[in-house]
Structure 1
């Protein structure tokens, strides 16, 4: 790796246009798309031309959800994934390197990004700079700086964007937001968010409690055969070279490794912290502190908790939001003060509590709210998370998990992991994108890339 990740790097094969495609496109793209890049008066029955980057695993599911449109390109570092996807889309162009897609593909409206987390920004940024609508899987980026970069690029591009937090489209989340914003439990000063699933470095207790997919505690010293059709160097992308090993591929094995993902925090945090973020209109915490086993240099933890403090804003008082994963749970859960749901969000207000998961919610204590009249629904029913984005691409209508919203959510989630890895309470200056009391956090806020890969 290099110490200056923003500099263009020489490439041994001379493929400058692919390695530095964003540099040549930036000025023209941002100028050309100063107005919303929506086809004015477009017939809603007219199909979008969509390029899909990452078409295996979660990408295959996203592909299926946009297949009502015209899929014109399929790209994946694993040829087997492209071959399977091409069975349903035989006319689509096939790519293994998404940089070539951006070089060669001339006619398309939108891009769906479902790569591994550590390459999300590299596939998303050039699409935005070219004025393409973008749907990107969660988390939006691999680190805090990338989230800020993508959010700001999306604001300039003025295209339809959506992060893949599919549960955001569910009716239950809408009803919870309405209840909180109607003051059902009064002013909320504490929120607890916990998930039972844990992808990360396991203690024996964790492994017993969580039933994790693979118990891995250290980086392998050897290698295993590279699957036929996988371009391992392309899969690594901006990460320093290492031998292939089956502990990284296929997904979701890579989630646990800091170089490629961020464990449970960034994955499920995108879904679960989304609810209080939406309901309480959160954005930037003032401090972040995390607790758990001693941090490992390469692997995210199975169990941890992160405590976020938010300053008072308008009618919203100062707030503490605590995240728990794996074996860690909030005190009301452990004492039996609330039902022991496997995963949930608990809003603690002056008048009571609201407990929610993906599909249900309870006002607590139940006897206090027995005669409570819930507010009439005000948030419209979603067309569906992918359908909402497609509709926005065609009409200019808003999406609910656009990159403005998702960028702030992603920054906050990543900061929980940064605080955990640094091992101290962070005082966060959002404008400066810096933990003012912990310079050692800088490499985790903005990582270096290996030569040939740059976003600057």
Structure 2
């Protein structure tokens, strides 16, 4: 277990300045973070990768990058460390990711697969040391953290990628080409819906329909036994302290609770809103409005919806983007004017509509597009989502879900929840990073951290 003297040690929660400067100078001298043509990295030369979070989603990410040298493994759960270590016995093991950054010479790149509330804390030091970073979605826990990470990535100029794996699929590429080539004309509205309904349900009937657990909206006060080998204090990280309870752990239980995640909006929004964000070249929304069941202080809703208004972007007209989760669906879906897909993205243009999910898409009305010839593919086939990042780390070439793009997407997704929790239509000032008409939303844009934890 963790040494109690380091429980909330400020020395490790924000990097020791002397070590940071020394390590940064060392990294610069060696050439870490520079493209291959600068540091002489051969494409056949393997990256040294630190894995932060090696269980669950982290285990999957680990397998996806195991063609490289795995030099560091880190997880607050000793069982996860043990399992990962079976395949990578030479990797050095840590429980506290802050201590990983005491040894920056051990790795060139970092894969972050911790829970959402510690993403920014595990990612920012890597960028400060100019290490390449792959981070699971959503990129951060809050709007402010997303801005911090996006700006740090821009300054670091390293290869970054957020874990929106479906972005690498061929179907999304073909949809983007259709929209941007004008197949359905200028798009002035888009709708995104997912059937997942995890979170707080207003009634037991709704929970049963969603095949989900009936969650109390209150924070549990009692303590369950902490699983053997799990450092609960480290798992909590910057989140408010509380007793261990099985309702939070293991994942994905935690992501329903505001202190650790942001529910379905930010989680699946990273995958599904990614498509209109890409195709319509979205950036900062002008307004955000959301509605759903009564707001709960502790837990995210199972069903809700949000509407974003975006201004003109170059030659592209203003557009509204609707998000619907759980039992909520777009009006066109409810009126059965489109195919009843359980999950989908609908683009509504002046000349028709385009409906897509992860794997397929269709132009509507189908009879009017029977003789339509799609444009020749113009977006290159992906090497694979993880492979893109590894290739970029060695060559300096761009990735498709880099932190500049992913940071904007994450900010927008979080703002849907901010609007829901505030209960107002927000007028968003992106430069000031605040809703001009709702100062009470500030607490959801940037939160206070537990004593001993500081991001910047």
TM range (shorter): over 0.9
Deviation per CA, 1:430-454: give whole Å up to 9, x if none: 0110101101000100010011110
Is 1:294 the counterpart of 2:305 in the alignment? no
Contiguous gaps of at least 5 residues in structure 2: none
- Give the whole-Å Cα distance in 1 for the aligned partners of 2:434 and 2:34: 33
Residue 34 of structure 2, aligned match among 29, 32, 37:
37
The 5 A counterparts of 1:13-92 are 15-21=9-15, 23-24=17-18, 37-40=34-37, 41-92=40-91
Is 1:188 the counterpart of 2:187 in the alignment? yes
Give the SS at the match of 1:239.
coil
Q: CA deviation at 1:429?
A: 0.2
1:355 match:
355
- Residues 49 and 109 of structure 1 are in contact (CA less than 8 Å); yes or no, is this contact kept in structure 2? yes
- Give the whole-Å Cα distance in 2 for the aligned partners of 1:22 and 1:166: 34
1:210 match:
210
Q: 1:325 to 1:24 in 2, by over 3 A?
A: farther
Q: CA RMSD in A?
A: 1.7
Deviation per CA, 1:295-321: give whole Å up to 9, x if none: 100100000000000011222111100
The 5 A counterparts of 1:250-399 are 250-399=250-399
TM-score normalised by length of structure 1: 0.95
Deviation per CA, 1:5-47: give whole Å up to 9, x if none: xxxxxx8779443132165566677787699523433211111
The farther-off stretch of 206-215 and 120-129 is 206-215
- Give the whole-Å Cα distance in 1 for the aligned partners of 2:182 and 2:399: 25
- Residues 30 and 156 of structure 1 are in contact (CA less than 8 Å); yes or no, is this contact kept in structure 2? no
Q: CA deviation at 1:192?
A: 0.3
1:5 match:
none
- Give the whole-Å Cα distance in 2 for the aligned partners of 1:434 and 1:153: 20
Deviation per CA, 1:385-404: give whole Å up to 9, x if none: 00000000000010000000
Q: CA deviation at 1:208?
A: 2.8
- Give the whole-Å Cα distance in 2 for the aligned partners of 1:182 and 1:206: 41
- Give the whole-Å Cα distance in 2 for the aligned partners of 1:422 and 1:26: 39
- Residues 116 and 140 of structure 2 are in contact (CA less than 8 Å); yes or no, is this contact kept in structure 1? yes
Q: 1:35 to 1:399 in 2, by over 3 A?
A: same
Give the SS at the match of 1:346.
strand
1:235 match:
235
- Give the whole-Å Cα distance in 2 for the aligned partners of 1:25 and 1:61: 32
- Residues 281 and 313 of structure 2 are in contact (CA less than 8 Å); yes or no, is this contact kept in structure 1? no
Q: CA deviation at 1:212?
A: 1.8
The farther-off stretch of 389-398 and 205-214 is 205-214
TM-score normalised by length of structure 2: 0.95
Q: For this pair of structures, how many residues does the alignment match?
A: 446
Deviation per CA, 1:382-427: give whole Å up to 9, x if none: 0000000000000001000000000000000000000000000000
Q: 1:104 to 1:328 in 2, by over 3 A?
A: same
Deviation per CA, 1:196-234: give whole Å up to 9, x if none: 012211122431331125644322121110000000000
- Residues 217 and 297 of structure 2 are in contact (CA less than 8 Å); yes or no, is this contact kept in structure 1? no
The farther-off stretch of 28-37 and 117-126 is 28-37
- Give the whole-Å Cα distance in 2 for the aligned partners of 1:325 and 1:22: 43
Q: CA deviation at 1:287?
A: 0.2
2:428 match:
428
Q: 1:22 to 1:207 in 2, by over 3 A?
A: farther
- Give the whole-Å Cα distance in 2 for the aligned partners of 1:356 and 1:223: 45
2:128 match:
129
- Give the whole-Å Cα distance in 2 for the aligned partners of 1:79 and 1:286: 45
- Give the whole-Å Cα distance in 2 for the aligned partners of 1:450 and 1:56: 25
- Residues 118 and 142 of structure 1 are in contact (CA less than 8 Å); yes or no, is this contact kept in structure 2? yes
- Give the whole-Å Cα distance in 1 for the aligned partners of 2:33 and 2:101: 20
1:6 match:
none
- Residues 48 and 69 of structure 2 are in contact (CA less than 8 Å); yes or no, is this contact kept in structure 1? yes
Q: 1:14 to 1:176 in 2, by over 3 A?
A: closer
- Give the whole-Å Cα distance in 2 for the aligned partners of 1:323 and 1:45: 43
1:7 match:
none
Q: 1:200 to 1:13 in 2, by over 3 A?
A: closer
1:157 match:
156
- Residues 206 and 326 of structure 1 are in contact (CA less than 8 Å); yes or no, is this contact kept in structure 2? no
Q: 1:297 to 1:378 in 2, by over 3 A?
A: same
- Residues 8 and 453 of structure 2 are in contact (CA less than 8 Å); yes or no, is this contact kept in structure 1? no
